[in-house]
Amino acid sequence: MNADIQQFSMGTWVAILAAATSFVGVFVAIASTRTAGAARGDRARTGWVGWAAFAFAVLGAWVPQLLVAAGLGLSSGDVDVSTRIRFDLTWLVISLVVVFVLSAAAFFVLASPRRSWQATGALAAALLWVGLVGGNLAFVRSLVLQGTHSLDPLYVGVSAAVALVVAVGVVATVLRLGTRTLRLVASLPIAALVVVIYWAGFEGVSVSPDPQFAPPSGVEIFSALLPAFLLGMLVVTIPIAALLMAPDRVSAALEREADLLAEESNEAFTLN
């Protein structure tokens, strides 16, 4: 007996909530990365990169995927097998760590002093892409079912292609969009595409339920979703509050130019 993964079985509001959560994480990550680029000193820059990676990995990617997974069910005729979906906690954590580490590396590259934004952008986009694809595959690998399951290479390719668009979009928004309003608007389609990545990842799963297999012993998705959602939303208020008080990259650059002009004027006045 074969079964198909049924997504958003609790309603389309799950997809909307996932996209909204991802939007918060993506926007905070982009804003924090730009602030890191304008920061004075390696310690401040590293701190902002850390906040960017946390926001992107937890709220931008992981929690939305948990939300998508919360709506999963199995359609197999009259047989109710939805309660047999569990998740391996180790692989769930690996999926988070992969996105966090690689996104931190990408944001650090974007925030560091650079000569060529093309080369910097390409490296950062590649790191983000690998993080998104690797995190998605690790998350799908965490599925524990009473039976066997496999992945459709076509949907894996679709997921990877959308992840590339997301990675390029994040990098382009950081490097090329100079106003907060434009970055806010750009974060909306990026967040929607993040949900598409995970939809494609789960859509490619083919399941063969088998009662002869032992019942799955993994964790229920809500046991990971609720703490991650609440903790992520609580912690991300720290960089949000700091961002509201910190100048953006343009303002910081203008401030530095004003300081230099003031110093030059003082030197000229002293010489005269």
pLDDT, tens only, 213-259: 666 677 888 888 888 888 888 888 888 888 777 655 545 554 555 55
Coil, helix or strand at residue 103: helix
What percent of the chain clears pLDDT 70, i.e. is strictly above it? 79
Mean pLDDT of the chain: 82
Question: How far, in Å, CA of 46 to CA of 143, rounded?
Answer: 35
**Least confident window among 6-10, 194-198, 223-227, 248-252:** 248-252
**18: three-class secondary structure by DSSP:** helix
pLDDT of residue 143: 83
Query: In angstroms, rounded to a whole number, what is the distance separating the alpha carbons of residues 244 and 219?
Result: 38
Tell me the residue type at 213: F
Q: pLDDT digits over 139-191, tens only?
A: 988 888 766 777 888 999 999 999 999 999 999 999 888 788 899 999 999 99
Partner residues linked to 87 by β-bridges: 143, 219
pLDDT at 81: 47
Q: pLDDT tens for residues 66-80?
A: 998 887 777 665 444
CB 33 within 8 A of CB 45: no
